[in-house]
Chain A
Amino acid sequence: MALPNPSTPAVSFQNAVALSGRFPLLAGVDLEVAPGEAVLIEGPNGAGKTSLLRVCAGLVSLASGQVSVFGLDPAHQRNQVRRRIGMLSHASHLYDDLTVRENVRFGVRAAGAALDRVGPACDRLGLVGRLLRTPASKLSAGQRRRVALAILAARWPDLWLLDEPHAGLDASTRQTLDELVGEARASGVTVLLASHESEVVESLATRAVTVIGGRVTAERVLLGPQTRSGVGPSPLATPMLPTGVPGSLGVPATPVASGSSAASSAPKESAVHVA
């Protein structure tokens, strides 16, 4: 994993407009995300949250304005950007005829990442034993999402784009996801979370940005990443930090609260309206 240059914003939108035909997906977004920051993008259905993430990934091109990811243009330097991002979206991007293990290995190898983290990532997500040899066609929606999450965890890219990350996950896997996001942040990874259920994911972020009608209409400062309340410690909880980065074995990490007590109260926040 290449650590981001702290002087360059991880993500920068400047008056970004994206269209689908004549329908505006983004209608002039201005947003800057610092390296290592975790930002929640909230808003109702159809507000442009997913489009914002897809623009970051180079899956949607801008009609006007500018966007950069780690100083790179996702529309023209697609592969360089995509090697540094991981996206957990509504689709799991799995091949039905391949087994869980094969899907994870292919996803990791295709992204040019090393295979040595595949085993720990699968273990962490509960993808063990016979499940590893099960074709993806036999998996439930939640299990498919766990596989997609395992690929993300095994790759450990510099920017995580999480679209409705908790959708379809059981309580245990939600807990694991929250821990992974916390560990990712501790290792310097930038995280963008899009969700219309902000109360569920805002404990993972330091800032919330409200998107309505393809525009950023408000932002709030959040308390910061905490483990969600009401969920016990995960039996799968084994640190996933890559070696040699803060938080890995022998390297101090930014502590991430675990357990339920620290998170039992709602995160304090201050509202800052920007538009």
Chain B
Amino acid sequence: MWRDTVLVAGKDLRIEARSRVGMSQVAPFGVVALVLFAFALGPDRTTMAKGAPGLFWVAVLFCTVLAVQRSVSVESVDGARDGLRLSGLDPAGLFLGKAAAVAAQLVVLEVVLGVGVVLLFGAKVTVPWLIVVSSVLGTIGLAATGTLYGALSAGLRVRETLLPFLFLPIAAPVLLAGTRVWQAALVGGTPSDGSQWLRLLLVFDAIYVALGVVVYGPIQESA
């Protein structure tokens, strides 16, 4: 399974490095979203700093939709999805590989968006480790759910519109928990304020990674 995970993740990341869709389209989209949020909140730096955690995670959520759609679409050309099925790859390895590739792209995007939040919203990080841990856990959760729901919508002609519809409500716990942890880390909270939300992220990750490992194969065969 791990061999297949590495193989699939490497393939997806290589495709991403070649096409540069993530850095040339998805990351700029996220930055533009942050700028528009800043415009909407007005010039008051205090208001912007308070809203920064939520806006960061909303931007990450939108970028996740784009990254997952890209991950699905590369398998839609020239019967590539059938090729993957025919190769006999372990479905669990396939799921973990595709999720890992999405997660790697999200990490880069989060760094870009994190810098954007600091610069645009004047946010100050008071508990850095909370930011790092919550981002890692949130990324795993978003990549796992996105990959799972991406597979669900893969065989459908309306997948571009269906995926956000399916994915965004399911990802709401990540938005909520991530925002709360970032508030604790940015707006002068204490680590204990964020730790209970970290547990929620951990449970969310465990559920969706396990679910993906088990059901990705059957979903792929029926898509």
Contact = CB atoms under 8 A, between A and B. Distances in A.
A176 to B, nearest CB: 21
A94 B80 contact: yes
Contacts, number: 77
Interface string A73-115: 0000011111101110111111111100010001101111000
B82 A111 contact: no
Q: Which secondary structure characterizes the binding site on chain B?
A: helix
The 10 closest A-B CB pairs, nearest first, are A93-B83, A91-B79, A82-B88, A110-B87, A83-B88, A97-B18, A97-B15, A79-B88, A111-B87, A97-B19
Most buried by A among B7, B79, B83, B85: B83
Interface of B: 4, 7-8, 11, 14-15, 18-19, 74, 77-80, 82-90, 221
Interface of A: 57-59, 78-83, 85-87, 89-98, 102, 106-107, 109-112, 135-136, 144
Contacts of B14: 97-98, 102
B14 to A, nearest CB: 7
A150 B223 CA distance: 28
Contact of B74 (A95, A109, A110): A95
Nearest to B17: A97
A95 B80 contact: yes
Contacts of B83: 91, 93-94, 107
B11 A59 contact: no
A111 B78 contact: no
Contact of A82 (B74, B78, B85): B85
Contact of A87 (B15, B18, B80, B86): B86
Most buried by A among B79, B87, B89: B87
